[in-house]
Structure 1
Amino acid sequence: MNLAPVIIFVYNRPWHTRQVLESLKANTLAGNSKLYIFSDGAKKNAGHNEISWIQEVRELIREDNWCGEVEIIEREQNLGLAQSVISGVSEIISDHGKVIVLEDDLILGKYFLEFLNDGLNEYDTQKEIYGISGYKFQSIKKIQESTFFLPLMSSWGYGTWADRWNSINFSARALQAEINSRHIGKELDFGNIPFYNMLQDQVKGKIDSWAICFYASMFLKKGVFLFPNTSLLRNIGFDGTGIHSGSSIPSHYNSSEKPDEKIEVKRKAVILEGDIVENIKKGTYHSEVKRDGGIMGFLKRRMPPEFIQFARRKLNREIKHPKNEYQFPRYTRTKKQVLGKEFDIPDLASFNFMYREIFVHEIYKFYTGKKAPYIIDGGANIGLSTTYFKKLYPHSKIIAFEPDPEIFEFLRVNIDKFNYKEVNLVNKGLWDKEGELDFWSEGADGGLFTKVDSSNKASVKIETVSLKRFLNQEVDLLKLDIEGAETVVLKDIQHNLDKVKRIFIEYHSFKDKPQNLDEVLNILISAGFRFHINSPGISSKSPFVKLNTYNNMDMQLNIYAFKIY
């Protein structure tokens, strides 16, 4: 097969870039394909963070042989999105006659390259076909035919030919003038997608898009794209990090959680089937975003925890469970499925709270371009957070601390089921020195040192350890959910935080005890962190009247701290 070269345009999103490169490498034709990676230069006003992210991306793209042959083009200047794509595609397509183009925020199914190449080879002489898409717009009904044509294009993973690319007019002003002279502006829109407004915004300089010009040119020439009947990719860019995607989900969005379906391309007459076109048009008004818990439900699954509010942790009334689970007695051993494995759990209520926080709301989610980030999991409990980190970064190196001997046994059993590499489990409590302390075991996720809160009697003595010796390398995430010991630990390591990039702290305020939130925040500020705070659980609606308490705590805060430069 005559394979088209693949082009990826990258800038400053290392985590997203890794996802697209790893999914590309997993494609069946990757080993026989040539990959061109265009890395745009920093903007003139780029700050230290942006420059470091660009450098991280440039190190990442050299990390592996993502395809059979890889050529990297680094721009010294920032061309901007539109000019970077136009010049890059024009350069490569002139040498090869066809290309497959990817954005940096896609996860590809393993047959994506097969479908794109089959389409490019099958329809290369059909001049009215301007491209092959790996993305399928949302439809209200399942489309039975394996492929179909639409009078619009998608820039999320597509292929095209040199003659069609060279026929595109990338002057938005000229395109607008022609469309206005023919009084067909409204016809440019497709269902709920306001293409004419996009074209106007391009002319006004509000957006920097090559794709709207491609579509408008194709529209004026009555061109079409070939689409699969199921999406062969997933877009992961709706997290506020992109140029155009922002944090808004398009109405047409169709998320393919498992885009690994193999779709055969059979040559067919180029006909726009009215029922299919109308099906897709209606789908732009009835996307899965609306059908699947609304926009907030969608965003909670997609976005980093710093920007999404999540359900309260401890208040039963705000958590929905199957009816039979309400009657399940507390602190009774049982089992629940986690990522295809049976987790041993000591308390169903506690498990449900933690699972929802960690896997549904993804409160620990963070982005890095590193393949193997170093994570310290302070307060690992039964292993949900450790398991989540391994799901997020399979090659990560994790040190997980859990002081409670009984809970630690659950942790060990659960983690052993996954046969993880680079996970070190430590049955010690985090403190400011090596030694022993009295510990009250609550039986689930609320055990703590009696030195922190003496309202409960000690049930066991546990070994303690200082974190200092574990901070001798760059720490990508330090998680501290250690039931009141957080201030002591932070004071101990306050002069060792230079290598820590992110910290999650669950801050605890105990009833009738001095509060030390100021100490926590001052340590973070002095170490160069910026922070975001929200209240996950013990939140009192009218605290002047009544304070809610749980395990003798009258307040919990989730503190997300990240470095500023």
Structure 2
Amino acid sequence: MSTQLDIPVLFILFNRPRHARKVLEQIRQAQPKELFIAIDGPRPNHPTDREQVAQCTALLDEIDWPCQVYKLIQPRNLGCKRGVSTAITWFFEQVEMGIILEDDCLPDPSFFTFCRETLLYHQHNSSVMHISGVNFQGGQRHGDGSYFYSKICHIWGWATWRRAWAKYDVSMQSYAEFRQNQVIKDLFTDQKVQQFWTEAFDGVYAGQIDTWDYQWCYTIWTSGGICVCPNQNLISNIGFGQDATHTKEDTESTGNQPLQTLTEIVHPRFLIESRRATEYSLHKFFRKVSGIKQRMENITNKPGLKNVKTTFRKHLLP
């Protein structure tokens, strides 16, 4: 980009300085005028965390372009659920709209342009609540624009507005009523999809899954929201490996996807969900499975929101 990015960026780090430096290099190309840095604290009983978190903190000294830097450095570990959600809430207490990157989500330079243009284009459209950077549609293209609309809110590089995040509730206080009234059946017709999301939401609501992103899906869907998804892949998750918190294996080949450059942004003619795209994602990534396949998936991660290895969580959204 020839000029500085005028959309604020939140960069969330923890204990992987090598990955974080690569992402910071891409942020440097965009040169955001406002850069928010959130770093979770070291975990107790993890002896390498303190040094790795310190190395991530030291990366702030490499911010060498003219910008305003804001810092939220936690003295103690908050974990995925509280650490990430607290950082995003802090971000939107200060900005109206912004781009969010975690330390393993490597963006193509055009990702920043894409987010800027779609944030501004949909700024006053309350039904659009999320902008994704990844594309996991297996080569399929949807609609007549550079992006399409879907229910699926991938969070490996994304953007949103204060107006949307204001609806977020990390504790999902309305979920008991949602479950009692079986609202999931109004969202999805496939019983295995219903079962997948019900078990995921149950786990989060009961405190058995330490994550923040299922709650963001819940917020979007219960608010009648929709998501922007690019027709090209603008983010590569470089964080798969044994040092990852959640994405230790990549059985679906969603990690380390090639980056594609978006050369122009054409807005879709119609603001209508691509049900074909949503159904493709649901059937590929978000359906309940059973038997041996279920047990195998319970010890890996699918591409989804991005987090946890538990009996409830096979993955989340890429």
Q: Is the alpha carbon distance of 1:33 and 1:169 closer, same or farther for their aligned partners in structure 2, counting shifts above 3 Å?
A: same
Deviation (angstroms), 1:84: 2.0
Q: How big is each residue's C-alpha offset from its partner over 1:183-229, in whole Å with a ceiling of 9 and x where there is no partner?
A: 13464689699333222222333322111101012112221111110
Q: Which amino acid aligns with 1:274?
A: R
Q: Is the alpha carbon distance of 1:279 and 1:207 closer, same or farther for their aligned partners in structure 2, counting shifts above 3 Å?
A: closer
2:8 maps to what in 1?
A: 5
Q: Secondary structure at the match of 2:109?
A: coil
Question: Are 1:137 and 1:254, in contact at CA under 8 Å, matched by a contact in 2?
Answer: no
Deviation (angstroms), 1:267: 6.0
Q: Which amino acid aligns with 1:238?
A: F
Q: Secondary structure at the match of 2:117?
A: helix
Q: Which amino acid aligns with 2:151?
A: P
Runs (5+) with no aligned partner, structure 1: 286-294, 296-565
Q: How big is each residue's C-alpha offset from its partner over 1:124-167, in whole Å with a ceiling of 9 and x where there is no partner?
A: 11101111111123346333532100012121111111111101
Q: How big is each residue's C-alpha offset from its partner over 1:398-440, in whole Å with a ceiling of 9 and x where there is no partner?
A: xxxxxxxxxxxxxxxxxxxxxxxxxxxxxxxxxxxxxxxxxxx
2:154 maps to what in 1?
A: 154
2:306 maps to what in 1?
A: none
Q: Which amino acid aligns with 2:199?
A: N
Question: Are 1:231 and 1:255, in contact at CA under 8 Å, matched by a contact in 2?
Answer: no
Q: Which amino acid aligns with 2:15?
A: N
Q: Does 1:37 align with 2:37?
A: yes
| Moved segments of 4+, more than 6 Å | none
Q: CA RMSD in A?
A: 3.0
Give, in whole Å, the separation in 2 of the partners of 1:142 and 1:267.
Answer: 12
Deviation (angstroms), 1:14: 1.1
The 5 Å alignment of 1:52-451 reads 52-65=51-64, 68-139=67-138, 141-143=140-142, 145=144, 146-172=146-172, 174-185=173-184, 187=187, 194-249=196-251, 251=252, 253=254, 256-266=257-267, 268-284=269-285
The TM-score, its normalising length taken from structure 1, stands at 0.46
Q: Secondary structure at the match of 2:43?
A: coil
Q: Which amino acid aligns with 2:7?
A: A
Q: Is the alpha carbon distance of 1:265 and 1:37 closer, same or farther for their aligned partners in structure 2, counting shifts above 3 Å?
A: farther
Runs (5+) with no aligned partner, structure 2: 287-296, 298-318
Q: Which amino acid aligns with 2:260?
A: P
Q: Which amino acid aligns with 2:109?
A: K
Q: Which amino acid aligns with 1:43?
A: R
Q: Secondary structure at the match of 1:149?
A: strand
Give, in whole Å, the separation in 1 of the partners of 2:130 and 2:112.
Answer: 14
Q: Is the alpha carbon distance of 1:153 and 1:264 closer, same or farther for their aligned partners in structure 2, counting shifts above 3 Å?
A: same
Q: Is the alpha carbon distance of 1:265 and 1:175 closer, same or farther for their aligned partners in structure 2, counting shifts above 3 Å?
A: farther
Say which is worse superposed, 142-151 or 225-234, in terms of deviation. Answer: 142-151
Q: How big is each residue's C-alpha offset from its partner over 1:10-61, in whole Å with a ceiling of 9 and x where there is no partner?
A: 11111111121112223xxx224311111111223332x2211111111123
Deviation (angstroms), 1:101: 0.9
Give, in whole Å, the separation in 1 of the partners of 2:234 and 2:139.
Answer: 18
Q: Which amino acid aligns with 1:246?
A: K
- The structure with the larger Rg is 1
Q: Secondary structure at the match of 1:101?
A: strand
Question: Are 2:7 and 2:32, in contact at CA under 8 Å, matched by a contact in 1?
Answer: no
Q: Secondary structure at the match of 2:221?
A: helix
Give, in whole Å, the separation in 2 of the partners of 1:208 and 1:67.
Answer: 37
Q: Which amino acid aligns with 1:167?
A: K
Deviation (angstroms), 1:119: 0.6
Deviation (angstroms), 1:120: 0.5
Q: Which amino acid aligns with 2:232?
A: T
Identity of aligned residues (%): 23
Q: Is the alpha carbon distance of 1:193 and 1:5 closer, same or farther for their aligned partners in structure 2, counting shifts above 3 Å?
A: farther
Q: Which amino acid aligns with 2:229?
A: F
Give, in whole Å, the separation in 1 of the partners of 2:198 and 2:61.
Answer: 40
Question: Are 2:98 and 2:159, in contact at CA under 8 Å, matched by a contact in 1?
Answer: yes
Question: Are 1:34 and 1:67, in contact at CA under 8 Å, matched by a contact in 2?
Answer: no
Give, in whole Å, the separation in 2 of the partners of 1:240 and 1:185.
Answer: 34
